[in-house]
Structures are given as structure tokens and as C-alpha cells.
């Protein structure tokens, strides 16, 4: 008898603040031509591979990016459940730069008005999202080549040194690393950063895009076939037309368009027929931050994404304040799928066909 398969991904940020204040381009050349200062070399396909029972993950130094994540479905088949490209050399030159499964930084999500204040000094950052800053601008860490500083069969560590001025408008040097490890159906992410010379905002995330069905569900290629449960997410941040928090914190009631807390296995697309769904995020679906409240411990599962079709479930554990959920409503359907995904009829990433799950602290929190 086929049984459901659950894999766990955990995201932990351990920021040594030093003089930092928050707890938490390179040249666009082909990845295969970029000099690698590390003594650790990738495989022939340009990827670094780590694996354990029931799970295999592959990475590239550009953006410290996860390119492939294979887990088992209920029939024991390997399924690649994250978005990406077959050609590793395309990541640095992709004009859309959707931050596929990379580490943006040094401050993720949006900064209102492209500015923040530390003490009595106001710093101005790059306006790359209308009048605001998204993910620290167009030279954020997802645009850069990280160094591989440690590699084992089940873990890999990437490191980056971000000099003052490289992240446009942010003060001080930052030293950061991310360690990815796998163990028996688990994918662990540990991010560390320190600002030793100046106070600067630090907030990191792993910007993973999931489709647990790998675009092979014969009934649909969208993400609404999945279910989502966030038992501790009973509040969220309403957003304005720019995707920024309005300053309010709203409560979620059972049956509300934002309710994924009231019961397990709520269909992700259950609100599609409601009047507000088509414009809920400036487009259809979601691009919002939910707060986690009263979580017993960092080992508690705070989010479960699942596919009833193939039995794959992904459980999230994190020490972060909440999670940004983006259901890819802005996708134009032109991005191609990997050869590990799709069917003869489904070859591109359509609108609302994946979900980005981004655990981190409060959006624009440095300005609150």
C-alpha cells in the first residue's frame, strides 16, 4: 500500500550582532567560468550534491542557490520539488532573476521608501521596487558568487563577505554563511551573519519555490491543488499596493481568505471563488507575511505544505518570527521548467503554479 511521505525543512538564523542591530554584481558571467577560490569542486554538471536517506539536494555558489531537491513520493519515486534551471550557467544571466531558492540579503523583503534610520542617521538604499527596496537591491547576495568553505556527503557551507558599499546604501562590512545539511528526509538550513564594524540591519531567508507535484499532476499544473496548514499563524500583516505592511496587524478568523490555521489540510486555493481573491496580493493569491504566535519551541512544526495527489508533505520548523508566502501570481508563464519536471504538455512555470516560502522576521521591521 502506498503511504504519504513527509520531509522536513528547518530554517534557523543565528546572527552574531556585534555592532549590528537586528537579531536576526558580481559580474554576470557564466557560473562555469567564474573562478572558484574554494578547494571544493562541483560535479561535472556544475552542482554540489549532498544526500541522505530519502533526500538529495544540489547547489551552486551563485546566490548559495539550491537548484534541485529530490524527495520520495508515496510510490517511492524521486520527485524534484523546487523550481530552477537545468543549465547552471543561466542563473547569473537570467534577466528576470526570480531569486530561485537563493539567499537574498543582507536585508530581505521590502524597505519602505528605500531608507532606514540607525540612531540619528538615515541611510538611503537602492529603489529597485518602485520607490522601495526589495531584498537589499540589485546587488543583493542572491546576485553574488559565494565561496564553498566546507563540504561533506551530507552538508555544505557557503560563505560571503559583504564589504561596506557593496549592498547599496547599507553601512558596514558583513560576514555571513549558510550551512545546508540533510539527514533522513530532512533539509536543514542554518544562516549566520555578523556586522563587526558598524550597526546595520540584518535579516536573512532561504527563498525557496516549491511545487511538490513537479508539474506532473494530470489534473492541474497550478499550486492550488496543494494544502497548507499553519497552526500558529493566526495573525498577518495587511499590505498596501506596493506589497508593504500598512502598519496594522490583522487577526485571522476561521474561513477567512487568510485562514490556514483553523484546521489541517486546508486547500491552498479554497478561496479562489471569493470576490477578494483575484486582487488579494495586487494579483491573485498571496504575497503576505503571517506571524507565528505561541510556538512551543523551534522544533515545533509551524507550516505544512502537502500534495494529496502524490502524498508528499513538507514540514517547516524555524526560529523566525513568521513567514512570507508568495503564490507566484506575478509569473508571466514564460519561465521554462527543468527536465526533471513537467510533462509533454506542461513545459513552463505558469501563473500561480508554485509557492515561495520565506521564514524571516517582520517585514520592514527596521523602520518600525
d(CA 58, CA 278): 35
The DSSP bridge pattern shows strands 121-124 and 115-118 to be antiparallel
17-33: pLDDT as tens digits: 323 222 222 233 344 43
φ, ψ of residue 277 to 5 degrees: the values are -65, -40
* Residue 157 grid coordinates: 557551507
Map residue 326 onto helix, strand or coil. Answer: strand
CA 128 to chain centre: 19
Which strands sit side by side in the sheet containing 147-152, from one edge to the other?
Answer: 147-152, 155-162, 174-182, 186-194, 5-16, 312-318, 303-306, 227-229, 266-267
Cβ–Cβ < 8 Å for 179, 155: yes
pLDDT (0 to 100) of residue 2: 62
Q: Residue 106, preceding bond cis, omega within 30 degrees? A: yes
* Residue ranges of domains in the chain, CATH in brackets: 5-36+44-367 (2.70.98.10)
Cβ–Cβ < 8 Å for 142, 104: yes
pLDDT (0 to 100) of residue 9: 81
pLDDT (0 to 100) of residue 134: 98
Low-confidence ranges of the chain (pLDDT < 70): 1-3, 12-37
Closest C-alpha to 147, from 80, 83, 62, 46: 62
φ, ψ of residue 6 to 5 degrees: the values are -110, 130
Q: 357: burial class by Cβ within 10 Å (0-12, 13-18, 19+)?
A: buried
Cβ–Cβ < 8 Å for 60, 31: yes
Amino acid at each position: 500500500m502506498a503511504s504519504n511521505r513527509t520531509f522536513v525543512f528547518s530554517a534557523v538564523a543565528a546572527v552574531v550582532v556585534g555592532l549590528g542591530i537586528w537579531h536576526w554584481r558580481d559580474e554576470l558571467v557564466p557560473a562555469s567560468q567564474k573562478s572558484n577560490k574554494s578547494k571544493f569542486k562541483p560535479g561535472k554538471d556544475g552542482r554540489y550534491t549532498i544526500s541522505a536517506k530519502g533526500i538529495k539536494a544540489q547547489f551552486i555558489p551563485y546566490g548559495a542557490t539550491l537548484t534541485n531537491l529530490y524527495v520520495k513520493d508515496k510510490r517511492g519515486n524521486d520527485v524534484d520539488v523546487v523550481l530552477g534551471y537545468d543549465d547552471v550557467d543561466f542563473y547569473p544571466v537570467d534577466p528576470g532573476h526570480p531569486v530561485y531558492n537563493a539567499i537574498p540579503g543582507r536585508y530581505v523583503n521590502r524597505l519602505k521608501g528605500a531608507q532606514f534610520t540607525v540612531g540619528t542617521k538615515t541611510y538611503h538604499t537602492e529603489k529597485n521596487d518602485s520607490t522601495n527596496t526589495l531584498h537589499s537591491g540589485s546587488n543583493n547576495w542572491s546576485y553574488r558568487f559565494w565561496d564553498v568553505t566546507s563540504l561533506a556527503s551530507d552538508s555544505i557551507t557557503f560563505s560571503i563577505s559583504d564589504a561596506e558599499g557593496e549592498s547599496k546604501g547599507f553601512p558596514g562590512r558583513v560576514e555571513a554563511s549558510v550551512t545546508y545539511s540533510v539527514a533522513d528526509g530532512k533539509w536543514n538550513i542554518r544562516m549566520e551573519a555578523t556586522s563587526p564594524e558598524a550597526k546595520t540591519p540584518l535579516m536573512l531567508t532561504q527563498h525557496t519555490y516549491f511545487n511538490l507535484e513537479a508539474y506532473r499532476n494530470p489534473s492541474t499544473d497550478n499550486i492550488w491543488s496543494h494544502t497548507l496548514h499553519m497552526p500558529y499563524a493566526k495573525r498577518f500583516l495587511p499590505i498596501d499596493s506596493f506589497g508593504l505592511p500598512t502598519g496594522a496587524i490583522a487577526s485571522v478568523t476561521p474561513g477567512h481568505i487568510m485562514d490556514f490555521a483553523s484546521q489541517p489540510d486546508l486547500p491552498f486555493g479554497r478561496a479562489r471563488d471569493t470576490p477578494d481573491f483575484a486582487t488579494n496580493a495586487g494579483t491573485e493569491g498571496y504575497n503576505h507575511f503571517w506571524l507565528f504566535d505561541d510556538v512551543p519551541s523551534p522544533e515545533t512544526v509551524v507550516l505544512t505544505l502537502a500534495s494529496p495527489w502524490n502524498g508528499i508533505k513538507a514540514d517547516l520548523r524555524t526560529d523566525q518570527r513568521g513567514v512570507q508566502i508568495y503564490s507566484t501570481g506575478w509569473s508571466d508563464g514564460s519561465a521554462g521548467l527543468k527536465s526533471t519536471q513537467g510533462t509533454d504538455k506542461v513545459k513552463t512555470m505558469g501563473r500561480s503554479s508554485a509557492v515561495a516560502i520565506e521564514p524571516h522576521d517582520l517585514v520592514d521591521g527596521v523602520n518600525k
